[in-house]
Amino acid sequence: MKRMSRTVMISAVSVALTASATTAAAARTADTPRPAAVAPVRADLPRGTLVSVERLRTLAAREVAAELAGDKAGAWDTGAVRYGLTTYRIVYRTVDPHGRPTTASGLLALPDNNERRLRTVSFTHGTELFKSDVASVSTSVWDQAPALTHASAGFATALPDYLGLGLGPGPHPWMDVPSETTAALDMLRASRTVAAAKGRELRRDVLVTGFSQGASAALGLARSLQEGADHWFRLRAVAPISGAYAFRTAELPALLAGQTEPKASVIYSALTLVAFNRLHHLYDTPAQVFRAPYDRTIEGLLDGTHTGREVEAGTPDTVDALLTPRGRAMLAHPTARLAAALRTADGVCTDWTPRAPTRLYYADADEQAVTANTAHCHAALHARGVHAPTTNLGTPDYGSSRHLGSQQAGTAAVVRWFRSLG
């Protein structure tokens, strides 16, 4: 796609839409000293404990509208803007994929209205390659827009950065739904603490949404809330946007068959092997699955310290130029540990029965998350007796990307639906 330097499966890299000075400032922010390591999480030291909070911006309603409408890549819908808002960067305690204590960061946006008890939205973002391209650090409209849209409509809005992004240590465990779920849930807990300190209260019912990678994360969080993972928060509704819910049966075959944008296919194929190998040990050396010279560079390139433009420049133009026959076969016919990991990822649609209102949003002719993903999720939920209407957002373009356009159009559609729920 034209804006691959901004996008990676499912999301955006600020270099294409943000001035280089802003990107450099964000990188410096991400490199500032982290909070000190915390003691192991125990039953009497719950996850979600607040480590630090920093007020970032206070915007009047007219300033929110101007920022959303002024995005050079494409104006965002301002129809739901009612209030000004204040944003906060939060660092909080959580656990890594192995259950060990760590910290994560995220953005909390609170509406500046007269409501003490606030309706709560959780938004989980799409794929980011660069640690600083998340809402708690980046100043790009793209990264901030979901928070601005929902908070200006009157919702307290929590955007977790996930593990390893923003101010979180270590590499990001990409498409790992269990850790995305814990990071999102613990962000809600920390957000409740911050809101209370401001004299506000987050209502128990949570409206859950997310885009692309974050669509799967949203369903993971929704399942966790429905199952009673937290003593306060509970699920009110869930509305994922353009997810890769059938990663094994729909998304991977599309990547390998050239049915997605070529550079996206290359980067997502690489991410799948590198990120899943970190957690599940799929290969012993990169040379087993990546061709030279990429076998010597790809893991470092995807460590979160390189921008989307750098990743794009450091990867080939085709999947066949990237993968060895073994690497391609591993993605074409997943077995053993990779197959198990993909079953977990795809379980967001197949392994539970939502009891709250559920809607699925997608963009027609999406060049990254193929529409078969949404069809698969809809069919799986329907088979469980779940009424989960699908909404086709059409072919919205955001910087020449229909996939990114689906976040823009989907955010507007979801906030309208959430407001209608009362």
| Model pLDDT for residues 191-247, shown as the tens digit of each residue | 999 999 999 999 999 999 999 999 999 999 999 999 999 999 999 999 999 999 999
Q: What is the mean pLDDT of residues 399-407?
A: 95
Q: Specify the pLDDT at position 46.
A: 79
Residue 295's pLDDT is 98
Report the distance separating Cα 394 and Cα 391, nearest Å. Answer: 9
**Which tens digit of pLDDT belongs to each residue from 115-167?**
999 999 999 999 999 999 999 999 999 999 999 999 999 999 999 999 999 99
Mean pLDDT score, 158-185: 97
Place of tokens 């964000």: 26
Percent of the chain with pLDDT over 70: 89
Does a cis peptide bond (omega within 30 degrees of 0) precede residue 334? no
| Residue 45: per-residue pLDDT | 52
Confidence at residue 275, expressed as pLDDT on a 0 to 100 scale: 97
| Percentage with pLDDT > 90 across the chain | 88
Q: How far is CA 250 from CA 75, 201, 259, 368, in A?
A: 31, 41, 10, 11
CA nearest neighbour of 10 among 416, 405, 413, 414: 405
Please state, in angstroms and rounded to a whole number, the distance separating the CA atoms of residues 162 and 216. 13
* 14 in Cβ contact with 130 (< 8 Å): yes
pLDDT at site 13: 31
The answer on pLDDT for 33 being more than 60 is no
Reduced to 3 states, what is the DSSP secondary structure of residue 43?
coil
Mean local confidence (pLDDT), 291-305: 97
Min mean pLDDT across 8-17, 324-333, 397-406 is at: 8-17
Instruction: Please tell me the predicted confidence (pLDDT) of residue 338.
Output: 97
In 3D space, the residue among 93, 99, 91 whose CA is nearest the CA of residue 30 turns out to be 91
Predicted confidence (pLDDT) at residue 92 exceeds the cutoff of 70? yes
pLDDT category of residue 80 using cuts at 50, 70 and 90: very high
Question: Do residues 372 and 360 lie in contact, with contact meaning Cβ atoms separated by under 8 Å?
Answer: no
8 A C-beta contact, residue 138 and residue 161: no
Q: Average of pLDDT values for 36-46?
A: 41
HEC readout, 343-405:
HHHHHHHHCCCCCCCECEEECCCCCCCCCHHHHHHHHHHHHCCCCCCEEECCCCCECCEHHHH
For residue 155, the tally of other CB atoms under 10 A from its CB is 29
Flag whether pLDDT at 39 surpasses 80: no
* 420 half-sphere exposure, CB direction, 13 A CA radius: 7
Q: Which residues are 110's β-sheet partners?
A: 86
Mean pLDDT of 270-279: 98
Note the pTM of the prediction, 2 decimals: 0.90
The answer, yes or no, to whether residue 38 has pLDDT greater than 60, is no
Instruction: Please name which of 108, 131, 133 lies closest in space to residue 121, comparing C-alpha atoms.
Output: 108
Residue 41 has pLDDT above 50, yes or no: no
pLDDT mean across residues, the chain: 90
Task: Find the helix or strand (DSSP H, E) in which 203 lies.
Answer: strand 201-211
Q: Which residues pair with 317 in a beta bridge?
A: none
Residues contacting 23, CB < 8 A, separation 6+: 14, 15, 132, 307
| Statement: residue 323 has pLDDT above 80 | yes
Q: Are 177 and 245 in contact (CB under 8 A)?
A: no
pLDDT band at 422 (very low <50, low <70, confident <90, very high): confident
Average pLDDT over residues 333-351: 96
Measure Cα distances from 35 to 103, 104, 168, 185, 192 in Å.
8, 10, 10, 20, 20
Q: Which residues pair with 84 in a beta bridge?
A: 112
173 against 39, higher pLDDT: 173
